[in-house]
Amino acid sequence: MSGNLRILIVGKGAREHALAWKIKQSLLVSDIFIAPGNGGTSQIAKNLDISETDISNLLNFAVSENIDITIVGPESSLELGIVNVFKARGLKIFGPTKEAALIETSKDFAKKLMLDNDIPTADYKTFDTYLDAKKYVNSISLPFVIKADGLASGKGVFIANSYDEANKFLHEQMVEEKLGVAGKKIVVEEFLSGQEVSVFTFVDGVNISSIVAASDYKKLLDGDLGPNTGGMGAYSPPVDWNEILSKNIKDNIIFPTIRALSSLGTPYSGILYSGLILTKEGPKVLEFNCRFGDPEAQTILPLLKTDLVELILKISDNKLDDVNVEWADQCAVSLVIASAGYPDDYFTGYAMSGLESINDSILVFHAGTQMNSSSNSFVTNGGRVLTLTSLGKNLQEARNDVYENINSKQLFENMFYRKDIANF
């Protein structure tokens, strides 16, 4: 780092560690702050004791410390309108406004937008009363999908293979309010079958960058069993990814979505994450997210050849077309190392050891870790603890490198990971 830009990153996961790692490579940058960050980010940036949802203290910090640009990781900060608040003060910030972020934060909004603009997606119906929802789900054929309308950290989606399960989930959401207000309104949608891909595009309101795609493993256990999680591993590019598919997705999904948000008066700026299923009839949208994926960020950022800070500055000036966004012609595999119990209850505070025995070919991104300054060592502090990423000329090479480096290592007590990431 030899430039003079002061950067603030908001968030605390491995995604934000990957952002900090990438930003540190920029020649434009002098200082990186991260709020609140984690044990890993404390080694390459200055962690701040400010939560990602404490928008007023984030703003105070950015103003008083002359931050040149703020980069937002999680959807929770975006939903609270961090971008609106910073922009109103004339500060540069990367991410969509609260209104444009509705594309992720309200499934109902996203579905209406797709329907109104002929963007291919699963058929759906929205309900805000339990009795109507119950009557409907018992009248349609299985399987189908029930989703909480609001943000639910991946816990608000249920694939129903029986009416009993469907009724139980509906009751939990709409009567017991297990996810609070997020589940008071629900969407019931058609089950789509096919390969799932996560597609990422930089957007400046009007223009979009070249796209990059990854495949994420959402289920906890090998063989795609167990509950949904935030993601247990990812690889890029997806199997069978090609230029024709990429163009099809740009023309039929991404451009129409960006134009639709513009014409609503809420242009989208930031990174757009389209969660798609490649069905027999073509790609269809499962969901949009208004941020980088986690663990997909840890997979795709190491493939980004372009200077991320230069790119973000161009986006903030609505000049994305001035930069050629280039992705390395390599493959990447990321493996999430979790604490047993995740995504439900898990212990924290396990001492970590053996990180130094991991080869330099592996990028180690921290999530739920903390630096214990008295012992100068890391302890676990979350469910997803680390992501290990390796690049290779093919997926097999990258995958072997990751697993060879982790097999037979015990980095902390009750460590857990999937054994089948990118194993075909």
16 near ligand GLY, rule: CB under 6 A: no
Show the tokens assigned to 273: 């994450």
The Cα–Cα gap between 380 and 241 comes to: 36
57 or 279: CB nearest ligand AMP: 279
What is the closest distance, in whole angstroms, from the C-beta atom of residue 325 to ligand AMP in the complex? 25
296 near ligand GLY, rule: CB under 6 A: yes
Question: Can you tell me which of 39, 156, 230, 343 binds ligand GLY, judged by CB under 6 A?
Answer: 230
79 or 294: CB nearest ligand GLY: 294
What is the closest distance, in whole angstroms, from the C-beta atom of residue 203 to ligand GLY in the complex? 17
What is the closest distance, in whole angstroms, from the C-beta atom of residue 286 to ligand GLY in the complex? 11
Binding site partner of 204, from ligand AMP, ligand GLY, none, Cβ cut-off 5-8 A by kind: none
- H or E element: which one contains 271? strand 269-279
Contact residues for ligand AMP (CB under 6 A)? 122, 145, 147, 154, 157, 159, 189-192, 196, 218, 228, 275, 286-287
204 or 216: CB nearest ligand GLY: 216
156 near ligand GLY, rule: CB under 6 A: no
State how far Cα 392 lies from the chain centre: 23
Using CB atoms, what's the residue nearest to ligand GLY?
A: 231
In the 8-state DSSP scheme, what is residue 312? H
Q: How many helices (H) and strands (E) does the chain have?
A: 13, 22
174 or 234: CB nearest ligand AMP: 234
Could you tell me which residues come within 8 angstroms of residue 387 by beta carbon, excluding any fewer than 6 positions away? Answer: 14, 18, 295, 298, 334, 335, 336, 337, 364, 365, 367
Question: Can you tell me which of 246, 289, 298, 299 binds ligand GLY, judged by CB under 6 A?
Answer: 289
203 or 214: CB nearest ligand GLY: 214
What is the closest distance, in whole angstroms, from the C-beta atom of residue 288 to ligand GLY in the complex? 11
Binding site partner of 59, from ligand AMP, ligand GLY, none, Cβ cut-off 5-8 A by kind: none
Helix residue ranges, H only, 142-228: 163-170
What is the closest distance, in whole angstroms, from the C-beta atom of residue 403 to ligand GLY in the complex? 20
Binding site partner of 108, from ligand AMP, ligand GLY, none, Cβ cut-off 5-8 A by kind: none
Report the 10 Å Cβ neighbour count for 391: 19
Pairing of strands 157-160, 144-148: antiparallel
68 or 216: CB nearest ligand GLY: 216
Interacting residues with ligand GLY between 181 and 220 (CB under 6 A): 216
127 or 217: CB nearest ligand GLY: 217
Report the 10 Å Cβ neighbour count for 25: 12
The percent of the chain in helix, strand and coil, each rounded to the nearest 5, is 30, 30, 40
- Sign of the torsion formed by the C-alpha atoms of 389, 391, 394 and 399: negative
The Cα–Cα gap between 416 and 387 comes to: 12
Show the tokens assigned to 227: 């509950």
**Residue 388, helix vs strand vs coil:** strand
- Nearest of 186, 199, 196 to residue 152 by alpha carbon: 186
Which residues form the interface with ligand GLY (CB under 6 A)?
216, 230-231, 289, 293-294, 296
